[in-house]
Structure formats: structure tokens, C-alpha cells
Amino acid sequence: MRIVRSFVLAVLVTAGWGCSTFKEIHYFKDEAPSFPNYYRLKVKGWTFFTSSRYTSGYFDEEAVNEYFSEVQQAKRDDSSDEAKSADENGQVLHPIGTNREGKKLVMILSSHSGAVASQIGSYVENENTMNAIAQLVNRGRRHEELKIELSTQMEDFHQKLLLDKGNRLIAELNLASITAEEARTQLLDYVNALAQYLGHTESFSRLEDAKVWFNYNRGRLLNAKN
């Protein structure tokens, strides 16, 4: 059995010192039909940055590709990309375990590792989103009618999110226990979500600013959504 070791080290000098360590093991095998080779990947590391956390998991391959494409990661050498799927002999490796076929191992060491993992996982929670990802990845080979269908699905998906958010807001505003400040905060949160859906790129800090923007763009927004 070949042993592949990977060490992750993050050392940051900060005002306050802390230390956390992590280690785990992952297993893979190649595609040899009769006598496959098995590989063991050992991961261990430590960090002195108290806010850093390590997390890992197996995520849908298309979701991983789409997520890191959207955040526009820096370009890497071709050799780096090939190393993620093949060993030095060109053998494609597959993770060993239940429901891991077609998934990628993602290891994250960051102060926001949990949020990143959650965002990647959210892609597979909605069937419309999964269809959208598959079509986006293969958009060069899709027919024009599928692109139109994709646009309609995504539009319906965003509208449903806004509708659900609005229904929750109405229910919470009807609660006798809610304060005026809480109501104002939740209303501003919904207005920002609606403005973003309509094409506004910055968040409003005051309802008064949002009202000015909506009034100024009312005609254009009505024409765009009709």
C-alpha cells in the first residue's frame, strides 16, 4: 500500500496566541479492474491563528467546480490540476466509501471554513440549482432551448426564495413580542434581498436610502420585469 502524506501548516503572528491541531486519513483506489492499488492519504497540521478552523468533506464534483469558478480562484499550472485526479503514473484515483463516487475531496483551513463548506453543500440541496450547475458547466454543448429553460428555472428559484423570505417577514411582523427596532432590521434585510434580485449591487444601511433608490428606478424596474 502506498502512503501519501500531506502536511498543512498555517502560522500567523497575531496579538493573541492560540493553537489548534487536526489530523485525518482518507483512502483511495485506482481503476485497475483486477488488482487495484490502494492509497492512504494522511492529513495533519496545526495553526497558531485562533480563529482558523479545518474542515473537510466529499462534495458533488459539479458543485465544487461551479463554486470555485464563481469565486474566481487564481489560475494554477496544468500540472496542479492533474495532480488532483491522477497519481504519477496517470492512474485516476477514486475515494473509498459510501456515496463518494463522482465526488471531490475538499480540505479547507480558514477562519470561514464552515461557511465555505456550507455554501458548497447548498448547491446540491435544490434540484433546480443542480440542473442549473450542470447546464452552466456544459453550456457550450447545450441547445438554445435548454439555455432558455435554465434561465426560467433560475428565475423561478430566486422568486421562490424572495416569496418565502417575504412570508417569514410578514409572520414575524405580526408577532406581538417584536420590537420596532427588530421589525425595522428585518424589513431592511428583506429590502436588500429584493434590491439585489433587481440588480442593485450594494446593501442599504437605512430604509430611507432604499426608498429613494426604489422610487428613482421604479419605471426601469417595472419595464424590466414585465
Span 21-32, pLDDT tens digits = 888 898 888 877
pLDDT at 77 over 60: no
List, edge to edge, every strand of the sheet that includes 2-10: 2-10, 38-47, 20-29, 94-95
Count of other CB atoms within 10 angstroms of residue 109: 20
Contact in structure between 30 and 37 (CB atoms under 8 Å)? yes
Q: What confidence tens digit (pLDDT) does each residue in 156-213 have?
A: 666 666 667 666 766 666 666 778 787 778 778 877 777 777 777 788 888 888 788 7
pTM of the model: 0.37
